[in-house]
Amino acid sequence: MGNGTDSGRNGGSLFAIKRRGVWFYVFFVLALGLVCLNGFMARRFGNTVFKLGDFAIPLSGLSGCIQSVSVVFCFLLVLTDYKRGIKLALFVLAFSFFGTIRSIMLSHSAASLPGVVNCIIHGVAAILIYRQFRISDMRATTDVVTGLTNRYGFERMLDKMIRARERGYVSYVHVEGFHEVNASAGRKIGDRVIYEVGRRMEESVGRNGIVFKIEGSEFGMILHEKTGYREIVDDVIVGLARPVEISNGEVNMSFFLSAYAGIAEFIDKNVTAEDVMQRADVAMNYAVNTEGIRVCTYNEALRDQVARVAEVEKLIKEGLENNYFYLQYQPQYVLDGKKLRGFEALVRMRLPDGSIVSPGEFIPVAENSDLIVDIDRYVRHRAMREFKNICRKMDDDFTLSVNVSAKEISQPGFADEVMAMIRDVGFPPGNLEIEITEYSFAKSVDMTIENVNVLRDNGIKIAVDDFGTGYTSLAQLLNLPVTLLKIDKSLIDNIESSEMNRDFVKTVIYMGHLMNCEVISEGVEEEKQLALLDEYDCDFVQGFVWGRPLEYATALDLCV
């Protein structure tokens, strides 16, 4: 592998490189030609003195001029391409040096002595220029904090390797947690943590490849073709999961980071450096955004998936402008007596050709962009408008539930925006319930709690959706001003067959009541499940057993 400082594609277009290459050889030929001319003249004319009118021009004076012009070409060689140029320039100067010595010896005259001194001085000057170029090149390709080769050097090396038909793997590594380190311990400590990350990565990679600092919280690796690349990348991820211990003399601090990696191969000879980097980036982003995946290798399925995500994202944008979205309402019932409690508004997407894109597909795409915020705003507005009269008629006996993404509930000002919409629509706040997932509390606890508090103070109910699938700790839950726990379908599914699930559901219901919450089970499909939930004192149910999501008009018929 190269050393990351070789000249490559950064010199500009192919045409520019070729043109520069031509000039390089022209300078070399001129520099060497002039030195040869000097030698020829010394041998042919000896110590002749030429006459130009009244002026006498000794040959040594003419040679001095020719030598100076040759030196200019030597410098141009170094300036054009400092790595190859220095070698050729020193060759020409050495040739000139020995030629001049030879002529001094043969003529037994020291008239050409200044020429010898000139060769030495110009040789030293050329080396100094070369060194300066090398230092600034190193600086331009080295990351100051980690000392690793930076993105610029990485791109140059990858490009050079691909052009040389070398094969291997590129991996991008995204490290999470630097922001928190900087915020809690300051940038100096942050820099030490970043340095340690680079060091650990180099330790894991060893002689199997090279580690780079790409930018911000991203690192890169180029791994040799014959390495067990997947094991190395796994090692890197495991190495970065160990806490980073930093001492500032008085206090020892531990920082916890997590890392995600994407891998792309450069084995196909038609691939470009740009393609490989983009693929590694796509794979890395997939790992970052997909739960349970730390390392992802780029393949055709991923390419298709990424293309589909881009297409769905485009459809969502189009849909928001051209009304592809509409709502269905799934009834919720009081378990004891099957009285209607209200509806959960569920968004749907219908394309102009009549085909349906399922929420299971477009909601995650919208959540990964900011489009979910617009979708949720649309759903809230439309659902409240459609049900405000029902609420007035049914008074406290009706609840309209809307889903809110983790992204929104953790935004400053979210609660105020909801209140403004409620006033605008004229919807009674006591009839509105906002469903947030447990994941919301993993995002930004303080802001989420602040928003939830404002909403609660205004009489809005708060439900924790998909409860039991993950993130909320019991301690956190006890501090939340929530009014309803929605037990996730996955727990209800096995309630008959698994005793552990049964116990868990029973405990959640009991715990919910202790917290002064009501409890609803969602995804209830069987009568037997209903019977068990009734036995455990579950308050409400939502599920196909008593009602699928309905069109607005059908939902209205239930509200009598």
| Strand locations in 138-217 (E) | 149-150, 168-176, 209-215
Over the window 329 to 368, marking each residue x when it contacts ligand C2E by CB under 6 A and - when it does not, the resulting string is -x---------------xx-----------xx--x-----
The answer to whether residue 490 forms part of the interface with ligand C2E (CB under 6 A) is: no
Give the count of residues interacting with Mg ion (CB under 5 A).
4
Given 435, 438, 518, 539, the residue binding Mg ion (CB under 5 A) = 435
Smallest separation, CB 254 to ligand C2E (Å)? 36
Which option in Mg ion, ligand C2E, none does residue 360 bind, with CB closer than 5 to 8 A by kind? ligand C2E
**Closer Cβ to ligand C2E, 82 or 333, answer by number:** 333
Over the window 494 to 533, marking each residue x when it contacts ligand C2E by CB under 6 A and - when it does not, the resulting string is ----------------------------xxxx--------
The answer to whether residue 464 forms part of the interface with ligand C2E (CB under 6 A) is: no
**Tokens 């991996």 -> residue:** 171
DSSP assignment of 234-273 equals HHHHHHHHSPEEEE-SS-EEEE--EEEEEEEEE-STT--H
Given 143, 466, 518, 539, the residue binding Mg ion (CB under 5 A) = 466
CB-based contact 537:323 (threshold 8 Å): no
Which residues, 6 or more positions from 514, have their beta carbon under 8 angstroms from its beta carbon?
none
Sheet holding 258-266: strands in order across? 149-150, 209-215, 218-224, 168-176, 258-266, 295-297
CB-based contact 433:329 (threshold 8 Å): no
Can you read off the two tokens belonging to residue 361?
């597909």
Smallest separation, CB 407 to ligand C2E (Å)? 9
Smallest separation, CB 435 to Mg ion (Å)? 4
**Closer Cβ to ligand C2E, 189 or 520, answer by number:** 520
Smallest separation, CB 328 to ligand C2E (Å)? 7
Which option in Mg ion, ligand C2E, none does residue 292 bind, with CB closer than 5 to 8 A by kind? none
**Closer Cβ to ligand C2E, 78 or 327, answer by number:** 327
Cα separation, 441 vs 462, whole angstroms: 13
The answer to whether residue 114 forms part of the interface with ligand C2E (CB under 6 A) is: no
**Closer Cβ to ligand C2E, 268 or 551, answer by number:** 551
**Closer Cβ to ligand C2E, 126 or 363, answer by number:** 363
The answer to whether residue 372 forms part of the interface with ligand C2E (CB under 6 A) is: yes
Helical segments of 323-438, H only: 359-368, 371-394, 406-409, 414-425
**Closer Cβ to ligand C2E, 39 or 523, answer by number:** 523
Which residues, 6 or more positions from 482, have their beta carbon under 8 angstroms from its beta carbon?
452, 462, 463, 464, 515, 517
Cα separation, 118 vs 97, whole angstroms: 9
Which option in Mg ion, ligand C2E, none does residue 96 bind, with CB closer than 5 to 8 A by kind? none
Cα separation, 236 vs 187, whole angstroms: 24
* Residue 487 phi, psi dihedral angles, 5° rounding: -70, 130
**Closer Cβ to ligand C2E, 168 or 543, answer by number:** 543
Q: What type of residue sits at position 115?
A: G
Smallest separation, CB 548 to ligand C2E (Å)? 7
The answer to whether residue 438 forms part of the interface with ligand C2E (CB under 6 A) is: no
Residue 64 neighbours by CB distance under 10 Å: 16
Cα separation, 526 vs 544, whole angstroms: 8
**Closer Cβ to Mg ion, 285 or 494, answer by number:** 494
Cα separation, 389 vs 431, whole angstroms: 11
Smallest separation, CB 361 to ligand C2E (Å)? 9
Taking the alpha carbons of 137, 140, 145, 147 in that order, is the dihedral positive or negative?
negative
Alpha carbon 145 to its chain centroid, in Å, reads 20
**Tokens 């041998």 -> residue:** 43
**Tokens 């349970």 -> residue:** 292
- Torsion angle (degrees, nearest 10) of CA 308, 312, 313, 318: 140
The answer to whether residue 376 forms part of the interface with ligand C2E (CB under 6 A) is: yes
The answer to whether residue 537 forms part of the interface with ligand C2E (CB under 6 A) is: no
Smallest separation, CB 468 to Mg ion (Å)? 10
CB-based contact 295:231 (threshold 8 Å): no
Which option in Mg ion, ligand C2E, none does residue 39 bind, with CB closer than 5 to 8 A by kind? none
Given 112, 403, 483, 529, the residue binding Mg ion (CB under 5 A) = 403
Over the window 398 to 427, marking each residue x when it contacts ligand C2E by CB under 6 A and - when it does not, the resulting string is -----x-x----------------------
Smallest separation, CB 364 to ligand C2E (Å)? 9
**Closer Cβ to ligand C2E, 465 or 518, answer by number:** 465
Smallest separation, CB 318 to Mg ion (Å)? 25
The answer to whether residue 281 forms part of the interface with ligand C2E (CB under 6 A) is: no
The answer to whether residue 465 forms part of the interface with Mg ion (CB under 5 A) is: yes
Helix axes 82-107, 113-140, angle to 10 degrees: 170
The answer to whether residue 379 forms part of the interface with ligand C2E (CB under 6 A) is: yes
**Tokens 């000097």 -> residue:** 38
The answer to whether residue 549 forms part of the interface with ligand C2E (CB under 6 A) is: yes
Give, as one character, the DSSP assignment of residue 293: -
Contacts with ligand C2E, residue ranges (CB under 6 A): 330, 346-347, 359-360, 363, 372, 375-376, 379, 403, 405, 435, 465-466, 522-525, 542-544, 549
The binding site for Mg ion (CB under 5 A) comprises 403, 435, 465-466
